[in-house]
Structure 1
Amino acid sequence: TPLILRKLQPHASDPMIQKIIAALHVILDEEIDHVRKGDVWFEYACERVGKSTSSYFEIIEKHYPKSFPRKININCVARAKAGFDKDELARISLTEC
């Protein structure tokens, strides 16, 4: 979403673009909350079975091989707000978070 918002910024004087930008901000805020809730449940599930939350990437790779084929540019601020820690961000991010 931040990339799309940056691309729309030069056209922000257009009333329709303003509505799109506002909608994208709502989506971003709701997505952060959604991911955070999932993170809370993941932490709970790990605690119940005695697994460390750092096992996330091993679990994903086991059940969904090649899910992280390459690092990408991510919204580090939003992911940190959603509960990702520095090690998790470093594992998936092309840039330092």
Structure 2
Amino acid sequence: MAVDSAATYIDDEIPALDQLRPLEEIGKLLGVGPQAIHRWRLDPLVPLRAWKVGRRWCSTVDETRDFIRRRTLAASSSSNTPAPPAPTHTARRRKQIDAAVAKAKAMGC
């Protein structure tokens, strides 16, 4: 199975047209916005399989179910990796925070 530059699968197994659903509809089923669905479609590690039909990207409920299963497996297998360290503030940002705290104290907050 080949993958094009947009991380979308190209193969001979295109689902029946009556099974295809616009990604926006799948997002509503899952309670997520269209940006999340398209981010999942472009995910380099665990992509949501989708096909472009006209101007819309579409997938199927079965592909979505498989995507959730694969993503869950990937997340559980990487759970042994430590969390990334908390971001540290740059010196400039630290000065801004200190100035805001001083201003709040001067105002009696």
- The normalised TM-score by structure 1 is 0.24
Q: Highest relative contact order (Cα 8 Å, sep 6+), 1 or 2? A: 1
- The normalised TM-score by structure 2 is 0.23
Q: Which has the larger radius of gyration?
A: 2
Higher strand content, 1 or 2: 2
